[in-house]
A = this chain, B = another copy of it.
Amino acid sequence: MATTDKQLRVAMIGSGNFACCIVKNVGENTKRFPEMFHPTVNMWVFEENIEGRNLSDIINEEHENVKYLPGVALPDNVLAVSDLRKCCENADVLIFCMPHQFIERTCRTIRDVVDPTALVVSLIKGFGDAPDNDDDNAFQLISQRISTHLGVGDANCAVMMGANLANEIAQGQFCESTVGCSSNSPSTRLRLKRLLETDMFRIRLCDDPKTVEMCGALKNVVAVGAGFVDGLGEGIHVKSALIKRGLIEMMAFVRLFRPEAEDKTFLESCGVADLVTTCFGGRNRLVGEEFARRFANSTPTTLHALEAEMLNGQKLQGPMTANEVIHILKSKKQTEKFPIFKRVDDICKGKHNPQAILEVIS
């Protein structure tokens, strides 16, 4: 970011359920800290027609995303913009919160309007396409892809992951989050905190963004498994055992790529707290539970069908991430060391029925 005495312009790239929860906080914060931020927050909206009106118009007129976060007022300084380039022009801070399959295309579209000194914050949980060989350099996290595609430096690319369920945040419930940022610039770190933190949404900064990001993605795989366990009618012991083993696999996976990852990072909100939260709340657990229940009731279905049925257009991240994780592990010939991840992926793909999750717990 060029100067410190100008008001930084913030853009949110995405307007789904979670993006709207966070932009609510961000919009309140840009008004609260005018010495640091320009109050207007542009929010890119992938245009949809809602009963004859543009979603972006509805948001700008009614200050509510009636499709993805109905019933929650957005600050009136959040401006829905359906033109992606226009949304990002002159932005000093870009917050990415969108399905990761659109990352490359999005970055290509905005690259030449983005200042290479801009600060990027990724809220995206997943890995994206896995490498096709075992070349470690081929493996890039989503934040790394964003920074590479946009030409911004790694130190200017932060992530935010943690125990936060969208609807609970929007209701103003207390929750915590971990912002991973390798920059040791005090001004960068202060900006992140000012922009993202509220009284009820607490931030802790961590200087290992890669571990933070991987935790954010991996916990969704475990949460799908926790849903299976719930749907099978198993009790708390089985679920706790799954959570424990899932945490161990998360740590082992991270250390395949970052042997230096410290245990304490897994004790941040993005680690054990997010894992517990996601295994007891959230949509991955919920859909996993219903999937297992339908099997048990002899009315089996697919996760894809349940996603459509239960999530109102939102995407289920866990099964997608499981697929990516197994692809990555295969390329490193490590799959057999990750029985929980593998079994969740197999169940998601119909290679096993949900009951088979129990075999890798006991």
- Give the interface of A toward B (CB within 8 A): 163-165, 168, 173-176, 200, 202, 234-241, 243-244, 247-248, 251, 263, 267-269, 271-274, 276-277, 280-281, 358, 361-362
Q: What B residues does A164 contact at CB under 8 A?
A: 237
Given A202-B362, A247-B267, A174 contacting B272 (CB threshold 8 A): no
Interchain CB contact under 8 A, B240 and A273: yes
Interchain CB contact under 8 A, B273 and A174: no
A281 to B200, CA, bound (A): 27
Interchain CB contact under 8 A, B235 and A173: yes
Interchain CB contact under 8 A, B168 and A280: no
Q: Among A237, A251, A269, which residue has the most Cβ atoms of chain B within 10 A?
A: A237
Minimum C-beta distance from A345 to chain B (A): 22
Q: What B residues does A276 contact at CB under 8 A?
A: 236, 239-240, 243-244, 276
Q: What B residues does A173 contact at CB under 8 A?
A: 234-235, 237-238
Determine which of B243, B251, B362 lies in contact with A174 in the assembled complex, contact meaning CB atoms within 8 Å. B362
Q: What B residues does A248 contact at CB under 8 A?
A: 267
Q: What B residues does A247 contact at CB under 8 A?
A: 267, 272
A175 to B362, CA, bound (A): 8
Subset of 29 A-B contacts with CB under 8 Å? A163-B241, A163-B244, A165-B236, A165-B237, A168-B235, A168-B236, A168-B237, A173-B238, A174-B237, A174-B238, A174-B241, A174-B358, A174-B361, A175-B237, A175-B241, A202-B362, A235-B281, A236-B276, A237-B277, A240-B273, A240-B280, A241-B273, A243-B272, A243-B273, A243-B276, A244-B272, A244-B276, A251-B267, A263-B263
Q: What B residues does A175 contact at CB under 8 A?
A: 237-238, 241
Q: What B residues does A274 contact at CB under 8 A?
A: 240
Interchain CB contact under 8 A, B174 and A277: no
Minimum C-beta distance from A168 to chain B (A): 5
Minimum C-beta distance from A48 to chain B (A): 30
Q: What B residues does A277 contact at CB under 8 A?
A: 236-237, 240
**CB closest residue in chain B, given A171:** B235
Interchain CB contact under 8 A, B237 and A280: no
Q: What B residues does A361 contact at CB under 8 A?
A: 174
Minimum C-beta distance from A276 to chain B (A): 4
A176 to B243, CA, bound (A): 13
A273 to B237, CA, bound (A): 8
